[in-house]
A = this chain, B = another copy of it.
Amino acid sequence: MLEFMEGSHAVAEIVKRCRPQVIAAYPITPQTHIVEDLAQMVANCELDAEYITVESEFSALSACLGASAAGSRVYSATTSQGLALMFEVCFNVAGMRQPIVMTIANRSLGAPLSIWNDQQDSISLRDSGWLQFYAEDNQEAVDLHMIAYKVCEDHDILLPAFVCFDGFILSHTYEPVALPGQEEVDAYLPAFTPYQRLDAEKPLSFGMYATPEYYTEFRYETDRALYRAKESFIKAGREFGEQFGRDYSALVEGYRLEDADTALVAMGSICGTAKDAIDEMRDAGKKVGLLKIRTYRPFPGPEIADALSGVSTVAVLDKNISLGGGGAVGTEVKAALYGSGAAVYDYIIALGGRDVRKRDVAAVVDLAEKGKGDMFYGLRTEVL
C-alpha cells in the first residue's frame, strides 16, 4: 500500500523496522529529518534502541564501530561535511569489516559551503571500502536500506554500506512510498548475528596492526569482499523482488537502452528527470537511453560494459568533480568501456543544488552527439 510522506520520514520508518540496536548520528542538513524522526521513535518507545546523541560525526561513526564490534546492529546517517569528518573512521570501519549501514543524504562539499545537493560527499569516499548504493526515488531509498543490511551482514561479506539518496531532492520531497510492515521486514531481514564480537567469554583482539607481511593480504581480502558483494546484492535484490514485488537484482539498470545510439549514465534522482527527458527525445525520434548505476561500489564495470555494448555515444552525468581530474563516474565508466569503441563524454552537472531540467538532459545529449564533452555543463558564464 502506498503512503504519501516525506523521503526522510520514509527512510526513518524503514530503518526503525530494520531494528537497529544502537543509533549514533549527528545532525546535518539535509539528513536531520531522518535522525529527528528516529529520536522521536525512541522517545516514544516505538523503537527499542540506544540513541547516542554524539558531539560530532567523528564520534558518531566511532561509536557505531564500537557498538557493531560489541555485537549490535547499528545505524547512522550523515552527509557532506559530516561524512568528510568521518573520512578516517570510514576507512577504519571498512578495514575492520563492520556491517554498518549509513544513510547519506547527498550534499555538496565545501568550500564554498553549500547545503545543497550533489554527490561529491559519498563519491569522494569511493576508496574507503564502503559499499555504495544510490537511490533514484524514495521507494528505492527505502528498499535499499533493507537490502543493504542483508548484504552487509552476510558472513561472506561483512562490509559497511552507504545508502545514498539525494539530499533535499529526495529527502525533503513528499511522494508515495510503499513501506513494508514490521513483519514483512522481519521475514526478509533476520535478526543480527555477529560473525565475531567483543566478548569476555571468547576474547579476541580487534583491529591489530599489520606489518608489510600481512597488510596487502588484508586489503586484498576486503577488496574481494566488495566484489563478492555483487553476488550478494543480486541475491538479496532478487529475494526482495520475490517478497515485495520490486526487483533489485541488477547492479545497473537500463532504460530504453535496447536500440539506443546514445546512452546517458547517471546515479540517483537525476535518473528520474533523465527518463522523462528520454521519453521526450524518443518521441522526437532520438534513439536515447539511460543506464542507471545502482551500486557504485563495488563498481559494476563489466556490467556497464555489457549494458552499453550496443551504444555508440555515452554521456555520463557526474554530480561531482575530482578537481583537476574530471568527474569520478565518467572516469570510471571510460575505464570500464576501455576498448569498446563507444565515444564517452563526461559532464559535470547539478553541483551544489543547481537544478536540472529535462531540457538540460537533452542539451547534454546534443553535446555528446556533437562530440563535445568532458566539461562542466550549465555554467552561468555571466558570473565568471
Give the interface of A toward B (CB within 8 A): 81, 84-85, 87-88, 91-96, 108-116, 120, 123-124, 126-129, 131, 207-223, 226-227, 229, 297-299, 301, 320-326, 328, 330-332, 334-335, 337-339, 341, 343-344, 348, 351-355, 376, 378-380, 383-384
Known: A84-B87, A223-B323. 20 other contacts (CB 8 A): A87-B87, A91-B109, A93-B111, A110-B209, A112-B210, A113-B207, A114-B212, A115-B209, A124-B128, A127-B322, A127-B325, A131-B324, A213-B380, A216-B352, A216-B379, A216-B380, A223-B376, A331-B331, A331-B335, A338-B338
Given A114-B209, A219-B323, A352-B215, A88 and B85 contact (CB-CB distance below 8 Å)? yes
Q: How many identical chains are in the complex?
A: 2
Q: How far is the CA of A220 from the CA of B129 in the complex (A)?
A: 29
Contacts of A217 in B (CB 8 A): 379-380, 383-384
Contact B113 A210 (CB under 8 A): yes
Contacts of A378 in B (CB 8 A): 216
Contact A92 B110 (CB under 8 A): yes
Please name 25 pairs of A and B residues whose Cβ atoms are closer than 8 Å in the assembled complex, sorted by A.
A95-B110, A95-B111, A111-B207, A112-B207, A112-B210, A114-B209, A116-B215, A123-B127, A124-B128, A126-B325, A127-B320, A127-B328, A128-B323, A129-B323, A210-B352, A212-B353, A212-B354, A215-B352, A215-B353, A216-B379, A219-B321, A219-B323, A221-B384, A326-B335, A334-B335
Contact B351 A325 (CB under 8 A): no
Q: Chain B nearest CB: distance from A250 CB in Å? A: 17
Complex A-B, nearest 5 residue pairs according to Cβ-Cβ distance, in ascending order = A215-B352, A95-B111, A226-B324, A212-B353, A84-B88
Q: How far is the CA of A137 from the CA of B91 in the complex (A)?
A: 29
Q: Chain B nearest CB: distance from A350 CB in Å? A: 8
Contact A114 B330 (CB under 8 A): no
Contact A209 B112 (CB under 8 A): yes
Contact A325 B297 (CB under 8 A): yes
Q: How far is the CA of A123 from the CA of B226 in the complex (A)?
A: 20
Contacts of A92 in B (CB 8 A): 110-111
Contacts of A334 in B (CB 8 A): 334-335, 338
Q: Chain B nearest CB: distance from A151 CB in Å? A: 12
Contacts of A208 in B (CB 8 A): 112-113
Contacts of A229 in B (CB 8 A): 324
Q: How far is the CA of A70 from the CA of B348 in the complex (A)?
A: 33
Q: How far is the CA of A299 from the CA of B354 in the complex (A)?
A: 26
Contacts of A85 in B (CB 8 A): 87-88
